Amino acid sequence: MGTMQSIILITGGSRGIGAATALAAAEAGYAVAINYTHNSVAADDVLRRIRQQGGTAITVQADVAEEAQVLAMFAKVDAKLGRISALVNNAGVVDQTCRVADMSADRMRRMLNTNVLGSMLCAREAVRRMSTRYGGQGGGIVNLSSVAATLGSPGQYVDYAASKGAIDSFTIGLAREVAAEGIRVNAVRPGIIDTEIHASGGQPDRARQLAPQVPMQRPGRAEEVAASILWLLGEQSSYTTGTLLDVAGGR
């Protein structure tokens, strides 16, 4: 990594896949900015664990769906750590299981604002800092998609699946747009991972209940997804961009 410490921003970094990625990134030598929306206790816990291991980290509060908050978050990371060279667009929401016929516009708007607009805004700010076109040193972006993008999640959350389908298209387009500017853009598509996100959708046992549908017969662990994210950001994947990597146990 040279003498300069690489700086990574992980949105939704306080829990689940985001927290696992923050810990793995710190172990790999990154200075880590842990973004959270509401749960400062969880974010502080990840911060403490990184510092206990001798790592460098800060927490930054922001709702990625709000442009002003995204701008303030990046300004804080610039000031406290420096210019990022890695972004993980992990912040995302699910909702209660529901048919499209019963979905409110507010629910759909929240889903798209956080999962799609939020990732796009953060990616925009990252490109402005990383791109050689803007005097940057290059870098990597990993977007969190989902195998739901290909399965559609009928009867559960088609709106969530659609938001992740948008992330897939955005990943491919942005990757090609900035490929000659030192930035690689990829996405990870997790399958059923045992994290707290299912509880927020009203199904805390969902990962274990759905395990029989997975060819590998078990839910994945957040650490397994984090490992793939770190690989996509690292030198070992230096010729990989615009790639959608399924981490889904064969689903």
> Is 36 an active-site residue?
no
All domains of the chain in start order, with CATH = 7-245 (3.40.50.720)
CB atoms within 10 A of CB 234: 14
pTM of the model: 0.95
Q: pLDDT digits over 215-247, tens only? A: 898 999 999 999 999 999 999 999 999 999 999
Q: Looking at 134, 157, 160, 239, which residue is catalytic?
A: 160
How far CA 29 is from CA of 1, 2, 49, 56, 191, in Å, comes to 8, 11, 14, 9, 28
Q: Which pLDDT score, from 0 to 100, does residue 114 have? A: 97
Q: Which residues in the chain show pLDDT less than 70?
A: 1-3, 197-202
